[in-house]
Structure 1
Amino acid sequence: MSSTKRPVLLLTRPPQDSRRFAAMLPDWPAVISPILRIVAVDHDAAALRDAPGLVFTSAHAVPAAGAGRGRLALCVGEHTGQVAHAAGFDVRMGNGFAESLLPLIEAAGVPLIHPHGRHLARRLPVPGMVVYDQQAVPLTNEAGALLAGTAPVILPLFSPRSARLVADAGRGARAPLWPVAISDAAWAAWAAPAAGHAVAQRPDAAAMAAAIRSLPLAEQ
């Protein structure tokens, strides 16, 4: 980490998510350049407000459901659960993987709706509703200059779709690329050269930060 070619984090999640993750790694320089823009889309807001229970696989869907009012919320992981709890929902959490929601859905005891983004990694056995779109956007000039440089670039990948988009943007980069994936599925979606990589031991931000700290970049 003392090299003149100090590794840099290229954070490609939406700005608030990226800033929150950067705060977990305060000693690492970071460039924020979202690869996706979250845009609300028309949906049946009344149906969500009246639903006895909701299934959330992303915190981005929580605002669309209205006030929690003690209603049941099955949340894929800790961050989504925290956002739903703050909105007033009675939260039950999975372990970060969509599969962990299946027994919670089975045991829910009330009708459920799954509000989600237009691009969905996995469909669940409950009615779904698209409430936002994840629109691809180009990297910033600052991010492009980083990829054209010689310092190692660490690329946290939080979903298969973002992994594909970041790989496309990074193809032809001069900088050594070090993708760090939140899951095997996200790593499998990477399709560009890499100097090395890591996969988080759990599908959450803390495990992603730990995976980044474990990279052998001191040897570069």
Structure 2
Amino acid sequence: MSKQNMTPSLSDTVRRAIERSLLDGAILPGQIFDERSLAEKFGVSRTPVREAILRLVALGLLQVMPRAGVVVPKLSIKELLSLLEMLAELEGVCAKFAAKRINGEQRKALREALMACEAAATAKHAEDYKDANTRFHEIIYEASKNDWATSQVRALRLRCASYQRSRFDLPGRLDRSLREHAVVVERIEAGDEEGARLAMVEHISVGGRDFAEFVSSVPTDFLSGE
């Protein structure tokens, strides 16, 4: 295989690694890094690193700072609210399509994910719940069978990841999330497309007092002053 043909796959590998770092909190809002350090970290040339960065910049996940490097842009409270509003709507669309298109295997997987969420919530284990929650939503994305919607919602989740990391640490959030998951599953299994959409929007939405509590859990150095 020629070097030209290998470069896109290397770029994808680097991009996915950076995305995992965003999800895991290894790369945080305001953090600056450069192509050379990433190339050394992943053991590749700077070309696939540059390609991966440009793709993530296009998604709004990274920002190039002339003569400084690459930074994970900080969000203002207004921007964060706007992103969460869009995330709720797109998650709702995925749930709506899932209610229409889910197959038997996916129904079983969704039930198993709900049970994993229940076990984690009962044990009050936020980290386990985060993992089960991710699996729960991924199954719904797969069941929606709409690549455009799922790619957009995943990009938004990546953009909000650092800000939502402590959300399940809020008092009562695990139990409330679990109850909301159960309603979403009930609507999807019933084939209730609009009901599934509304249940998911309600699940993801953060407003009023909930939003104030949510913002209070976000580290202040993650927020821009705009």
Q: TM-score, normalised by structure 2?
A: 0.25
Larger proportion of strand: 1
Q: TM-score, normalised by structure 1?
A: 0.25
Larger RCO (CA within 8 A; separation ≥ 6): 2
